[in-house]
Structure 1
Amino acid sequence: MNQYNSKATPDDPDRLPPARRRRAHRLLAPVEVDERAAFLDTVAHRASPSFDFFLFSLLAGAVIAGGFLLDAPAILVLGALLSPLMAPAVGVALGTVIGSGRFFFRSLVGLLVGSLLVFLVGWLAGYAVRIWLPLPLTMAHYHAQLSWFNFLVLALGAGLTAAALARSAHSAVLPSVALAYGLYLPLSAAGIGLGSGEMFLWPDGVVVFSLHLAWAAMFGAFTLAIIGFRPLTLFGYTLGGVVVLVGVLLLIGITGAGAVFGAQMALPTPVPTATSTVTLTVTPTLTPVPPTATSTLTVTPTLAPTATETPTPTATPVLALVVAGESGGAHLRAEPGFQSPSLALLANGTLVQVLPGDIVEEGGGSWVHVRTLDNKEGWILATLLATATPAPNW
């Protein structure tokens, strides 16, 4: 009696059906159990945070904060290039797809510590705004807003970084820049907003960072699942489903928070535009007088003008344009002074109405009371306005 001595495992590629064998060759992860475990250990080691990750996060946070203070997009890109390999973000996705709760939370904590360093550097830079002259922080406000282009860049960056890190740690450096750009920039803007006292800047930046992180983890997990990573146990499917569900609920809840709280969260501030209005003028009218007949004379009808009300002259409103130079806009503040909360960021070319009243000197600047076309009233620096005719007391 012949005995078959070879031990075939269910994951042996030579014993798989042809269809499964072809699909296994297209996957990046190994098929055999022992090789799969070793491969997971290798990828998990690459995705673990290291000392270099925290050091370069601190360096990148300083460069990004400087770019926000100078409103220089080139310096912001340089900060993203100096950012470390965003391996912990891929680690969060890896922990989700393989169902390892311990590795998931370890990667998440490492990523949050690096992000906290970026936030603290931005917070310190925000205090510099209070010491120096007031800065418009146009780029900080821009990166604290939701944009579908940023979500697209994050999806591509998360997918390419996860796929590249599964092959080699060095090949994931370039796509990791997109992850750093989408995660670190809004967080640095939030820190600057908290340090400078901007009312809506820091919560908007934190909201954008949270949504970007959930988006990147979800697309990274999808990519790892496509290239062959699977949960090690049945509990892994539960963990992955819970993480995806929480991400979707977070996305829906944050985007609907504006309707719940009656305020815009991480949404662009609408800029009012000037519209032409028709001015009605009063014109005199002629009323015909009916003729009266007599026995000897026939009176022909004559036209006699009737008196009309004379319009009372009203003061012509003084209109001005926001001209802030290279900063791109000016803050409309609730009260005179640089420490007063910002109500809106008015872009260059925005038309405002100068309200009657004296100019207020506060904090080394001259402040003018204005009203925007959407009936927002506030104070703005007189040096940032341009009028066709000088206003009274100006």
Structure 2
Amino acid sequence: MSLPTSEPLPSENDSNIAAARRRRLHRALLPRSDDEQSAWLEAVARQLTPSYDYFIACLLSGVTLAIALLLFSDALLVLGVLFAPFLGPVLGIALAAINGSGRYLLKASLSTLAAAMFVFGFGALAGALLPMLPLGPVPVFTSWTSYKWPNFLVLAVGVGFSVYMLVRSPRKRPLVANVAIVYGLFPPLTAAGFNLVAFNDSAWIAGIKVAGVHLAWAVLVGILSLIILGNPPKKMAGFLLTGLALGVLAVAFITSPLDRGPVRNVEPTALPKILSAYRSPTVTITMTQTTTPQPVVDQSPTVTLTPTITFEPTDTATQTITPQPTPVWARVEAPTGGGALLRDEPDGKILSSILNGNMLEVISDPVRGTSGTIWVKVRTENGLEGWVVQNLLATATPAPGW
């Protein structure tokens, strides 16, 4: 008769060691061995590589953001950001720079450029459709093409949290944090395309710059997050690409100061313009002829003639001040959109766009347009004349009808 064999029970010390090892492995953010590190990099790279649904989501997001521009709808803006794909290629640029993979860096950069071209193109399409739609005066979109500290903060939190989630769970996509990345890139690109076609001026360049600086900031935060989480460069190519990326992105960020919108010659304050609005009086010199009586010399035989000084008529200058009417100046203060549109006639073709804070000289009385909107003719600082909706202006000088 044979008794069943039994395995020895683990001692209490072995159980404690095993539990401690499990806790250390659980706390470790990145794998330690080379094989595990390679498997992790492969899993993360697979998540960051776009597929066909990436481009379909870009198309859907671009269409929604373009409609949001036409209708000036914040709700559609949020919906367009939610429709956007997972911008893994942005994080892939940081990962490729850290690991020194030039091929993957090129692939991630081209995927990011493709998404940017999608939303930029749909923004331009919306700008081309603007004159064909029966819309009222469309405010200028400048809130998406200006540098703001909260946008950089939200973008940094989104990138940092996305990198952390990928490090902890490389098989899951951090879609919630992706919303912050999309908000910093897609709206400025859509507004750039819209301004390029709709207004045909330099406002679109501001949107490109904002999107570029936001992308530089996102990649910079991604590189720093990977280094902090325990994935520093391990190859010479990784050190070179990381240093090059940090240098280029730092220069792009430093040379683009914050709180700067589209370049439209916006003065720091409207006070100097208000003071210069009052023209000095015009001095006119009028020549008046004054005749002086000439004394008469009485001649007689008993009187000796003596020379007498005769005064000739002289010209006397007299100053005459001709008063000039006080010009009416108004400041652009649109409640939404950050500016107003300048048209060639009431309800007419768009000539240009003017940002809030710019001073305009009003040169006509208010006129009611065909749609019932009240317009006034104005002259810009550069001498361009056109019509602006009266409700978007605030007068700096008293005027009747305001």
- Note whether the superposition's TM-score is higher than 0.5: yes
The corresponding residue for 1:156 is: 157
Q: Does 2:342 align with 1:340?
A: no
CA contact (8 A) 1:56 1:84 kept: yes
Q: Does 2:128 align with 1:117?
A: no
The alpha-carbon distance between structure 1 residues 73 and 198, as it changes in their structure 2 partners (threshold 3 A), is farther
1:218 equivalent among 220, 227, 237: 220
1:355 equivalent among 348, 363, 367: 363
CA contact (8 A) 2:137 2:341 kept: no
CA separation in 2, counterparts of 1:102 and 1:128? 40
Structure 2 gap segments, 5+ residues each? 1-22, 281-317
CA separation in 2, counterparts of 1:271 and 1:134? 30
Is the partner of 1:341 in helix, strand or coil?
A: strand
CA contact (8 A) 1:274 1:351 kept: no
The corresponding residue for 1:380 is: 387
CA contact (8 A) 1:367 1:380 kept: yes
CA contact (8 A) 1:158 1:216 kept: yes
Deviations 1:14-51 (A, max 9, x none): xxxxxxxx999854111101111111101111111111
The corresponding residue for 2:102 is: 101
CA contact (8 A) 2:82 2:179 kept: yes
2:189 equivalent among 178, 187, 190: 187
CA contact (8 A) 2:47 2:173 kept: no
CA separation in 2, counterparts of 1:250 and 1:325? 32
CA contact (8 A) 2:139 2:339 kept: no
* CA-atom RMSD in angstroms: 4.0
- The Cα shift of 1:324 comes to 5.7
CA separation in 1, counterparts of 2:98 and 2:159? 14
CA contact (8 A) 1:146 1:266 kept: no
Deviations 1:64-118 (A, max 9, x none): 1222222222321221122111111111111111111111111111111112111
Deviations 1:114-166 (A, max 9, x none): 1211111111111111223464344x311111122211111111111111123
CA separation in 1, counterparts of 2:190 and 2:158? 19
The percentage of aligned residue pairs carrying the same residue is 35
Structure 1 gap segments, 5+ residues each? 1-21, 259-263, 281-307
2:176 equivalent among 131, 155, 174: 174
TM-score normalised by length of structure 2: 0.70
The alpha-carbon distance between structure 1 residues 271 and 338, as it changes in their structure 2 partners (threshold 3 A), is farther
The corresponding residue for 1:36 is: 37
- The Cα shift of 1:356 comes to 6.0
The alpha-carbon distance between structure 1 residues 382 and 96, as it changes in their structure 2 partners (threshold 3 A), is closer
Q: Which moved more, 1:208-217 or 1:22-31?
A: 22-31
What amino acid is aligned across from residue 183 of structure 2 in structure 1?
Y
The alpha-carbon distance between structure 1 residues 353 and 167, as it changes in their structure 2 partners (threshold 3 A), is same
The corresponding residue for 2:245 is: 243
Q: Any residues of structure 2 matched to 1:263-342 within 5 Å, and which?
A: 269-270=266-267, 273=270, 312-319=322-329, 329-332=339-342, 338-342=349-353
- The Cα shift of 1:231 comes to 3.0
CA contact (8 A) 1:129 1:196 kept: yes
What amino acid is aligned across from residue 250 of structure 1 in structure 2?
A
CA contact (8 A) 1:208 1:266 kept: no
Is the partner of 1:141 in helix, strand or coil?
A: coil
CA separation in 2, counterparts of 1:236 and 1:245? 14
The corresponding residue for 1:16 is: none
Q: Does 2:83 align with 1:76?
A: no
The corresponding residue for 2:62 is: 61
What amino acid is aligned across from residue 202 of structure 1 in structure 2?
W
Q: Which moved more, 1:145-154 or 1:313-322?
A: 313-322
